[in-house]
Chains A and B, each alone.
Chain A
Amino acid sequence: MRHGRVPFILGFLVAPVTLYSYFVLWPYVQTINLSFYQWRGFTKKRWVGLENYDRMLHADRFWQALEHHAVILVLLPLATIAFALFFAFLLNVGGKGRGGKTAGVWGSSFYRVVFFLPQVLAVPVIGVLFATVYRPNESGLINGVLLKAGLDKPIGFLIEKNLALPALIAVLVWQAVGFYVVLFSAGMANIPAEIYEAAELDGASKVSLFFRVTLPLLWDTIQTAWVYLGILAFDAFAIVSVLAQDNGGPDGATTVLGLEIYNNMQQNRYGDAATYGVALCLLSLVFAAFTLRLTRRESYEY
């Protein structure tokens, strides 16, 4: 039996490891390698050593992008998780319990679908949709209403430098919430009903139910959500590319590393693009490792 195990395990591993190495690890190696070259994408690459890195570190847009990632990294997970937890709680526990069982608010199965809907829309679709929502004149959804209501100047959601990034983050939150509602719902469904029952018998209010029972028992899920949203925060390329002004504008106020990669590729500077790619990859890895370490906490067995 024992001697058959190694080939058995190997047999299972060969295919996925090969695929993973070829399609994931090898491109990593290529990208890192490319970041030391100047390459226009047609013919010969030229070795330039650390020149690309030097240029990147001296580029304003790079630091702007980092700053934006930091902002998104804080706001996006916070807002998304807060909204998602709130909605998930209402959908699962928030209603009147019947026969000792916890239940969601009235119509919760309908809301579940509504919350999840944005998740199935493609990002460019959402981008175009919100271009209309934010449009700074009377035909914009928000400004149209505000102008009718007596505002004399439209709000430049995507034009004002200090509004543009939050406006984009709001779109990201809007899209992401649905998925986390479902994720947290799945988590809540696994919390034994007895615990809620016991707490309710002891006279706990909905609020303390949430903070004393749901939140601690969901900790694992929230932690995963946090990592996941953090990685989303390092992306944000698509929405910036479709929705933001003038390629990450106004004046770079919404640029992200993904967009800088894209801009460099557009200018046939593949070496520089790879350099930004390496930076993005490093940041994401550091973030993931850091968060997992920081939020490590004993999980409850039940």
Chain B
Amino acid sequence: MSVTPESPSQQPNALSRRTVLQRAAVAGLVATPAVGFLAACADSGSDDETSTPNSGATSAANPLGAPEDQPINVVIFNGGYGDKYATDVHEPMYKKAHPKSEVKHQSSQAISTLVQPLIAGGNAPEFVNNSGEKSLDFGALVADGQLQDLTALFDAPSVDDPSKKVRDTLVPGTVDTGSFNGKPYVLYYVSTVFGIWYSGKLFTDNGWAPAKTWSEFTALCDKIKAKGIAPYAYAGANAAYYQWNIILTSAAKIGGADILKNIDNLEDGAWKVDAVKQAAEAWAEIGAKYNLQGAEGLKHTDVQLKQNQYQLAMYPSGDWIENEQKKDTPEGFKYQMLTTPSITGSDKLKSTALRATAGEGYMVLAKSKNPKGGMEYMRQMLSKAGGKGFTEVVKAPTVVLGSTDGLTFTPGTQSSQDALKAAGSEVFNLFFDGWYKDLDKEARTATNELMFGRIKADAFVERIQKKADEIKKDSSITKFKR
């Protein structure tokens, strides 16, 4: 995307001075429009492609009525989970159930780069794993009517037990997590638990115990610091949302999970309530006193590596971290998860409460040629065998109930699954980052400002509230409620 003109630099010595000047001037003129051109080139596709969804006969094996002879295009994000689970597990399952329907597989690390032009050009793929840094904005896709309403899928009989609907075979909350204004558009497949991660080995070797209350937590940090290890850090350069997630989790524990609901719904003053302020204050102190040197300038991979090298004790993350760090984790490291400690003595939720969600979004594009085929692919994914196969390949539990029976987890996943069980009904989630990317960005920036000591808690909530208010007023942004 650089608009640095390259042409004159290639044969510099061969040119006379005059031609160099001329070429430089021409290159200069050509360089200017390059950025504008970039914005424009996406604008050439056909705008009003309306393909009527194909249908086939419904049967017990094909309750959604997907056309048996139509192919489906599957696009998988080739990130932390790779694409092996699709090529080795889900796609063969689909093909076995529907031998005449061809599966065309593609994978990419930049989903929007691959898929956006396909959509704009009227060649939308049926099934997309929309994930990663370059994912498409789900909110924008929904607002634009690009996503297939998945109600039919969730109401269809499940693969394993036709007397049960698909929605009843999933972890409660799965359908809601992928719903926009009450309608399910996205299937979130991987059960994800958030918390603070540490090395079981490091803690056992030093006789440290995971903290439940705030005073225990700061005492623990002091002990770790005395050992010459950085107690707590996140990566400021690109992963500040790991930390706002922790701050908001603490806020929800102080004031109840409704605090997060109000934030998601852009209620007036939702960020400025005391609970958020208190949580921000407490964590700002951790940032000021117990940080890893230079953490603000480090990327998540750098910081996670520091933890693997035992130079950092605690790191906020989701439970994908164990799989992500597989290659760098030393023998016996033993990832363990700690839920955020209670900040006040009068927290509304227990210290075992946690944020859990279904992660890794999958969608069917409504304007693709065979959306029913896409949904049928999802139905296969949501079978017990589909869930189990996924977990076997990527070591992460799915939202399919009972699909992990008989599987033994790695220590980290085991610990987060135990934490999830311990939390009982005190499990909450938040959505604003997926709905309003702008608000996520502001929260990240403000979090860095707070955690690295440039602003105080008051200014932190003030700042994000201001952005939330702006978004609320902005008629060009589609709003969501839960």
Contacts and interface: CB of A to CB of B under 8 A. Distances in A.
Interface of A: 23-24, 27-28, 30-31, 34, 38-45, 48, 51, 55, 116, 119-120, 123, 131, 134-138, 140, 143, 153-154, 156-159, 179, 182-183, 186-187, 189-190, 220-221, 224-225, 227-228, 231-232, 234-235, 237-238, 241, 245-247, 249-252, 257-258, 261-263, 265-270, 273-274, 277-278, 280-281, 284-285, 288
A235 B39 contact: no
B43 A34 contact: yes
Given A159-B296, A270-B43, 19 more contacts: A27-B33, A27-B40, A41-B119, A135-B298, A137-B293, A156-B296, A179-B8, A187-B20, A189-B17, A190-B17, A228-B24, A231-B28, A231-B32, A232-B4, A237-B1, A237-B35, A238-B4, A245-B238, A265-B39
Interface centre among B41, B134, B141, B297 (most CB of A within 10 A): B297
Contact of A277 (B30, B39, B136, B298): B39
B2 A43 contact: no
- What are the 7 tightest A-B residue pairs by CB atom distance, in nearest-first order? A136-B294, A27-B40, A268-B140, A137-B294, A136-B297, A30-B40, A27-B37
Nearest to A59: B470
Contacts of A30: 40, 43-44
B43 A221 contact: no
A48 B477 CA distance: 13
A135 B39 contact: no
B137 interface: yes
B405 interface: no
B293 A136 contact: yes
Interface in B354-375: none
28 contacts: A24-B30, A24-B33, A28-B33, A41-B116, A42-B140, A43-B145, A123-B4, A136-B294, A158-B237, A159-B452, A183-B12, A186-B13, A186-B17, A221-B20, A224-B21, A225-B24, A245-B238, A245-B448, A246-B240, A249-B445, A251-B449, A262-B1, A268-B137, A270-B42, A270-B43, A274-B39, A281-B36, A288-B28
B36 A44 contact: no
Contacts of B4: 123, 232, 235, 238
B412 interface: no
B39 A156 contact: no
Interface string B469-480: 000001010000
Secondary structure type dominating chain B contacts:
helix
A280 B35 contact: yes
Nearest to B446: A251
B35 A183 contact: no
A280 B297 contact: no
Nearest to A164: B297
Interface residues of B, number: 69
A30 B38 CA distance: 11
A40 B138 CA distance: 11
Interface stretch (B52-60, B198-206, B276-284, B436-444): B436-444
Contacts of A156: 294, 296-297
A244 to B, nearest CB: 9
B35 A261 contact: yes
Interface in B220-260: 236-238, 240
A178 to B, nearest CB: 9
B288 interface: no
Nearest to A48: B476
Task: Determine chain A's interface SS by DSSP, over half rule.
Answer: helix
A252 B445 contact: yes
A138 B1 CA distance: 32
Contacts of A227: 24-25, 28
Interface of B: 1-4, 8-9, 12-13, 15-17, 20-21, 24-25, 27-33, 35-44, 47-48, 112, 116, 119-120, 134, 136-137, 140-141, 143-146, 236-238, 240, 293-294, 296-299, 302, 437-438, 441, 444-445, 448-449, 452, 454, 474, 476
A186 B41 contact: no
B39 A261 contact: yes
A140 B361 CA distance: 37
Given A136-B297, A224-B25, A231-B32, A238 B39 contact: no
Given A179-B9, A220-B21, A246-B240, A270 B39 contact: yes
Contacts of A245: 236-238, 296-297, 448
A227 B22 CA distance: 12
Contact of B40 (A153, A187, A274, A285): A274
Interface centre among A51, A238, A266 (most CB of B within 10 A): A266
B328 to A, nearest CB: 15
A277 B39 CA distance: 7
A42 B297 contact: no
A157 B298 CA distance: 12
A7 to B, nearest CB: 26
A179 B48 CA distance: 47
A183 B42 contact: no
B298 A136 contact: yes
B21 A237 contact: no
Nearest to B10: A120
A51 B476 contact: yes
A27 B41 CA distance: 7
Nearest to B42: A41
A179 B36 contact: no
Nearest to A187: B17
Contacts of B297: 134-136, 156-159, 245
Nearest to B311: A137
A137 B312 CA distance: 13
A246 B37 contact: no
Given A42-B120, A43-B144, A237 B449 contact: no
Give the one of B30, B143, B296, B448 with max A CB within 10 A.
B296
Nearest to A25: B33
A131 B21 CA distance: 34
A228 B27 contact: yes
B136 A268 contact: yes
Among B24, B29, B39, B112, max chain A CB count under 10 A is at B39
Contacts of A265: 39
